[in-house]
Each structure stands twice: as structure tokens, then as C-alpha cells.
Structure 1
């Protein structure tokens, strides 16, 4: 039941604001003693399930999607995720912990004060791929999902409002998560022991979150996003404190 609740809470939130859900799932699973590899694989499976259902919900509700932009950002994110994951092996873990909180704070301030940031609307394909590489690189470097970076990039660099940025972010998350699961499969790691309990909740969460996203205002989506980032910062801070005091 605990795994079901974690999955439902994470995927409803992730589907509403476009952060995928993995950012919440992995820390929560880690905090209850689940091994890192199992937590990562389970998170990827759950997020992919959520993304598929959420995307179907958006499409059924007539949401218009800029496929070209999503594919370019998605390709860049996959490349960036590989580069960031490679770089992770050569960076001090203490630095990663602090840098991650710093980047989340930057995300928070970027969204809260987005109206004071000069409007940018990138349309150059090379620039779009580059943005994808940067957000994917951060995701790979921190090893915990790039949803907040994707949403923030869509808001800051593409002039999107938070509600529509959430939609595009879910599409990109689908592509990057599919890539991650492919790597797990190639490496021979497939453990569905927790996913079996969490996928049904992800289906419910993806559908519910997608419906809520279309019914509430962009201002409310932005508020939920900010609360989610604050929650993630709090969880990450607790994990760091626990790590260095034991």
C-alpha cells in the first residue's frame, strides 16, 4: 500500500506540472531503504507508465503539440543525459549534493520571477537541441530526473506559460525515460518487484494529473510546481543531513 501511495502522489503531481514524478519517487524510495539501482529502475518504469497515460489524456483533450520542437529537445536531452551520466563518475559526490540544491533554487527563482526575466522565444533548431543537451546533462549529472529543468527551460527560453510547458515536458520525459529503460535492458537490469505495485497507481495518477492540468489555470499549475520544488529541496536536504551525520 505504501508503494501504491508513493506512486499515486508522485505521478499526479508530475502529470500536473510536468516534472515526471521520478524526482519525488526516487528520494522517497531511498528514504524507506530501497536500493539505489532498484529505486532508479522502478522510478523509470513508473514514470514511463504515467507519461504514456498522461499523453493519451492530453491528445484526447485536443491538446496541440509542436512535435518538431519536442523531438529536437528530446534528442538533445537523451544526448545530454548520456554526457551528464558519464561526467557524474568523475565529480565529487559532495559537490553533486550541493550543486543539485543550488540548481533547484535557481529553478524556483526562475519560475517565481519569470515575469521579470526578458522574454526569449527560441526557434532555431540548433539552439533547441543545445537547450535539450543542457537540461539532459543536468538530469544525467544529478541522476534524479530533469523535469524541473525542462519545465524551466520551456518557460524561460521558449516563452511558454507553466501549464503548456508541463505538457511539452511530459512528452520530453517520455522520450528520455524510454531511453533510460533501454539502457537498463541492454545492461540486463530488470526488476519489476516494486513496479508491479506502483504501475496501477501511475496509470491512475497520469490520467488524473492530465485531467487536472487541463482544468486549472496556469497560475495554479505554477503554484503546484513551486510547492513541488520546495518539497524536493526539503527531501534532498534531509537526505544530505542524514548522510553526513551518520
Structure 2
């Protein structure tokens, strides 16, 4: 029964994660923390939840990236530039996780996620970080409704912001997606479809780096991981298919909604759990 439940969690988390670029960790980590309150899962600490989630997301990232490549909406150059900062940041964050306990972890995670969702509501009032077209990266993209977007960024600024994003993702075990997608949309005005696909491309190497750290620390539960991986692989394909059929505005609404629900749930767990 536990095996079936974990496979279903993997499918649901990966479907939603690849649909809006979160990678699935934002669902897997809270799910594992909830299972920790049940008999038979008492060994699941916040560190184990994070480590196992990040290992699972290696397969979510690989599956969804292969699927997004067919639609040609992954911005590889931008993704690689962001990785220069997020890679080292995620390793540092994975080590900091060791200092957190369950209650403080839930509250910190929940408040942070709610703040991100609130900022997304105000995204239309933001202006992109200035960049000179002759010294920055400039892109154009036309979505499935025919709407054309222009977006761009200064590479140095992108690396600095990505380091902070990677650091926090290493702590939270969400592969950076819960931060990277809003960051690309809010600060650099990435089209939601491109932000999602590029985020999933970035989650693959970032999750590998963070997972290596967590494996050396003994934070990966292999039974849980082996149950989650098959569902994560299938779910990623489902999420990409749905993403290709939805409007940009719908993807942002879904992203905001998921962040709010998960944030409130975690704060409640941290205070009353």
C-alpha cells in the first residue's frame, strides 16, 4: 500500500512540477513530512525528505527536459548562465539544511512560499531589471496563442540572483523551481512557457549536484526514492503535454495557487503539527 501511495505522489508531484516548472519538490517534501507523522515513516526527517526529493527530481528533470526539447522552448543559453550561480548555491544550501529542525523548517518554508506567491500577484507592477541590448542576452518568443514576448537579462546579474536562488533551493529541497520560475517571470520578463521549460532544464544538473551532497550525508531514503522515481518519470511527461496546451496566463495562475496552498499547509504544520 505504501509503495502505491508513493508512486501516486511521484506522478502527481511531477505532473504539476513540470507543468509549472517547480520540479515536484514543492509537493514531495511536504508529502514526505506528512508521512513522517504516520507509523512506519518515523525515520523521515526534514533532511531525509529534502535529500530524497532532490534525488527523485533528477528523473523529473531528465524526463521533462527531453519532452520540452521537442517543442523547442528551452532557452539553453539562459539556463546555463543561471546554472553558473545556482550550482554552487545549491551545494551550500544542502549543507545548511543540517542545522534545521522539523518545526522551524516547516514555518520557514511556508512563509517563504507565501511571499513568493504574493509577489507573483503584483508581477504586472514590476519592471524588468535594466539591461543593455548590446551587452545583455535578448530573446523573442511567440507562444501557442500567437502572443510575442521580448525578454532579456544582464549575465552578471543573472549569475548573482541564481546563486541566491540555488542556495535557498538547496535548503528547501525544491530544486530551485519554486524560486527560479517566479524570478525569471518577475525580474527578466521571461514568457511563462519558456521560464517553465528552462527551469526544468536547470533542475536536472542542480538536483544531481545537491543529491550528491545529500547522499554523502546519508539523507536519501532509497526505498522511498525507488517508489517515487517511476511516478516522477511518467508525471513529467504528463505535465509537459498539459503545459503545451495551456495559455501563459493560466500557467501563472496555477503557479500562484499551488504556492499559496502549500505555504499555508506548511505554516499550519509548523505551528500546530
C-alpha distance in 1 between matches for 2:33 and 2:99: 23
> Which structure is higher in helix share?
1
C-alpha distance in 2 between matches for 1:141 and 1:197: 23
Q: Which residue of 2 aligns with 1:2?
A: 5
C-alpha distance in 2 between matches for 1:123 and 1:3: 39
Contact map agreement 1:76 1:133 (CA 8 A) in 2: yes
Q: Which residue of 2 aligns with 1:12?
A: 15
1:18 to partner: Cα distance: 0.4
Indicate whether 1:175 and 2:205 are aligned. Answer: yes
C-alpha distance in 1 between matches for 2:206 and 2:126: 28
Which moved further from structure 2: 29-38 or 127-136?
29-38
Superposed CA RMSD in Å reads 2.4
Counterpart among 52, 57, 78 of residue 47 in structure 1: 57
CA pair 97-25 structure 1, distance change in 2 beyond 3 A? closer
> Which structure is higher in strand share?
2
Note the residue ranges of structure 1 that are not aligned, 5 or more in a row: none
Contact map agreement 1:19 1:146 (CA 8 A) in 2: yes
CA pair 90-39 structure 1, distance change in 2 beyond 3 A? closer
1:3 to partner: Cα distance: 0.8
C-alpha distance in 2 between matches for 1:164 and 1:170: 10
Highest Rg: 1 or 2? 2
Q: Secondary structure at the match of 1:118?
A: coil
Counterpart among 108, 111, 116 of residue 117 in structure 2: 108
1:123 to partner: Cα distance: 2.6
Q: Which residue of 1 aligns with 2:261?
A: 231
Contact map agreement 1:122 1:157 (CA 8 A) in 2: no
Contact map agreement 1:23 1:144 (CA 8 A) in 2: yes
C-alpha distance in 2 between matches for 1:188 and 1:173: 21
Counterpart among 62, 84, 94 of residue 93 in structure 2: 84
C-alpha distance in 2 between matches for 1:50 and 1:91: 26
Count of residues in Structure 1 that have an aligned counterpart in Structure 2: 242
Q: CA offsets, 1:33-63, max 9 Å, x none? A: 24124433331232111111111111122x2
Q: Which residue of 1 aligns with 2:76?
A: 67
Contact map agreement 1:163 1:222 (CA 8 A) in 2: no
C-alpha distance in 2 between matches for 1:136 and 1:212: 27
TM-score (norm 1): 0.87
C-alpha distance in 2 between matches for 1:164 and 1:3: 30
Counterpart among 192, 216, 223 of residue 222 in structure 2: 192
Contact map agreement 1:101 1:233 (CA 8 A) in 2: yes
TM-score (norm 2): 0.79
Q: Which residue of 2 aligns with 1:32?
A: 35
C-alpha distance in 2 between matches for 1:99 and 1:76: 23
Contact map agreement 2:54 2:175 (CA 8 A) in 1: no
Q: CA offsets, 1:183-202, max 9 Å, x none? A: 23444665421222222211
